[in-house]
Amino acid sequence: MHPSQPIDFRSDNVAPAAPEVIQALSAVGSDNASPYGEDDATRALPALLKAVFGRPAVGWPLPTGTAANAMTISALLPAGGVVFCHERAHAYVSEQGATIHANPAIQFVGLPGYHGRIDRAPLERALDELRGPAVLTLTQANEFGCAYDLEMLAIFGALAHRRGVRVHIDGARLAAACRATGTSPADVVRSAEADALSLGLTKVGAMDADAAIFFADALPDGWRTTMRRAGFLTSKARYQSAQIRALLEDGLWLRLADRSVAMAQRLRAGLETSPNVLSVRPSQSNVLLVEFSPAVMPALMASRFLVKPWYDPRLTRLVTSYMTAQQDIDLLLAWLAQAA
């Protein structure tokens, strides 16, 4: 590696598509197929999703996690209503109103909680005061790098369903959360009694394929019309569905997440002993929030190591991917030691 070549810890989105995904795309590109989701790969998604999540499920490929969140949540609230989420939830803060754009009758209500996880007490108060339809969305893992344990997912799912509130999981980094916590995707869905899931695969090896998943026997009424109006009725959906199949069919997405989580744990171990690191926040994924010494921050931001400032100015976010090499981590740790 050239000494001036950047080493990018800003996001797992910087990683390329996995070679297996590229190979799957090449294979599906050799034949004609029916358009607009009528191809064999898209039609096979329900059986594949049932095998992965252990429940009847239907899904639709979408190009981004934002699209998956917007389409999935708005479909759960066709007549509008309230979306309860953490006050820093990606769907609420970072997606620039995509869900409300999809359904203007929706209103988000942000609830407090440490490390990006909703606290139980404010959720219970919000549910007690609820009048009308609502969805509870839980992010697994969230922007802070943290995930709910299965017990809390079960508690929140039960609280929501007891009041007629549907449960949605934003699973942009679901694979990393599962590998870091030793759980399975089926465990998460079952514990939360999830009605729907926005499944993130782009961060774990897809090129441009996430998915809206509903744990039901059929897609919501008028789904194809909604997709056409939103611009997501992809004519060659087979290319996205082939990516989903390549990642899910034999657990490739989880193996790739194993790599990203292992690299995050290696990075954490080194950072926790670095004299230029004041703290590393809790994480159950491949995302780390780090408080570096103020003395080293100007040099770090000007260095070859690309990192992302966090909304809390004391913190910096570092994210590993399946492409992160041990050498990348060791070079950063050596740089920090030298900076000391």
CATH number at 265 reads: 3.90.1150.10
Q: Give me the CATH number covering residue 224.
A: 3.40.640.10
Integer Cα distance of 133 and 123 in angstroms: 15
Does residue 205 share a domain with residue 153?
yes
| Burial of 179 from C-beta contacts in 10 A (0-12 / 13-18 / 19+) | buried
What confidence tens digit (pLDDT) does each residue in 258-279 have?
A: 999 999 999 999 999 999 999 9
The answer to the question of residue 113 being in a domain is yes
The answer to the question of residue 334 being in a domain is yes
Does residue 310 share a domain with residue 241?
no
Q: Are strands 308-309 and 106-111 parallel, antiparallel or unpaired?
A: unpaired
Structure tokens at 190: 């079952």
**Count of CA atoms in the C-beta half-sphere (13 A) of 246:** 28
Measured CA angle at 14 (ends 9, 51), to 5 deg: 110
Cβ atoms of 48 and 250 within 8 Å: the answer is no
Does residue 244 share a domain with residue 263?
no
The answer to the question of residue 103 being in a domain is yes
Does residue 317 share a domain with residue 217?
no
The answer to the question of residue 23 being in a domain is yes
Does residue 241 share a domain with residue 264?
no
Q: Which of 223, 249, 275 is the last residue of a domain?
A: 249
Does residue 314 share a domain with residue 228?
no
The answer to the question of residue 1 being in a domain is no
Does residue 131 share a domain with residue 44?
yes
Integer Cα distance of 215 and 104 in angstroms: 24
CA distances from 253 to 60, 138, 143, 191 (A): 18, 21, 20, 21
Does residue 174 share a domain with residue 275?
no
Q: What is the pLDDT of residue 30?
A: 76
Q: Are strands 196-199 and 210-214 parallel, antiparallel or unpaired?
A: antiparallel
What value does the mean pLDDT take over residues 57-71? Answer: 95
The answer to the question of residue 2 being in a domain is no
| Residue 221: partners with Cβ closer than 8 Å, 6 or more residues away | 78
Does residue 173 share a domain with residue 259?
no
**pTM as predicted:** 0.94
* Overall number of domains in the chain: 2
The answer to the question of residue 155 being in a domain is yes
- Tell whether the model's pLDDT for residue 35 goes beyond 90: no
Does residue 243 share a domain with residue 259?
no
Q: What is the pLDDT of residue 80?
A: 93
- Tell whether the model's pLDDT for residue 170 goes beyond 80: yes
| Residue 96: partners with Cβ closer than 8 Å, 6 or more residues away | none
Q: Which of 93-97, 162-166, 244-248 has the lowest average pLDDT?
A: 93-97
Q: Where is 78: in which H helix or E strand?
A: none
Cβ atoms of 92 and 251 within 8 Å: the answer is no
Q: Which of 249, 284, 303 is the last residue of a domain?
A: 249
Does residue 242 share a domain with residue 178?
yes
Q: Which of 184, 233, 239, 203 is nearest to 90 (CA)?
A: 203
Structure tokens at 282: 């809790």
Q: Which of 222, 249, 276 is the last residue of a domain?
A: 249
- Tell whether the model's pLDDT for residue 1 goes beyond 70: no
Radius of gyration of the chain (CA): 20
Reduced to 3 states (helix: H, G, I; strand: E, B; else coil), residue 214 is strand
Q: Range of 298's domain?
A: 7-14+253-339
DSSP 154-199: HHHHHHHHHTT-EEEEEETTHHHHHHHHT--HHHHHHHHT-SEEEE
What value does the mean pLDDT take over residues 160-189? Answer: 97
**What is the torsional sign of CA 244, 53, 139, 10?**
negative
Q: Which of 14, 287, 276, 272 is nearest to 147 (CA)?
A: 287
Does residue 269 share a domain with residue 202?
no
Integer Cα distance of 251 and 170 in angstroms: 20
Q: What is the pLDDT of residue 33?
A: 85
Q: Which of 141, 132, 145 is nearest to 9 (CA)?
A: 145
The answer to the question of residue 106 being in a domain is yes
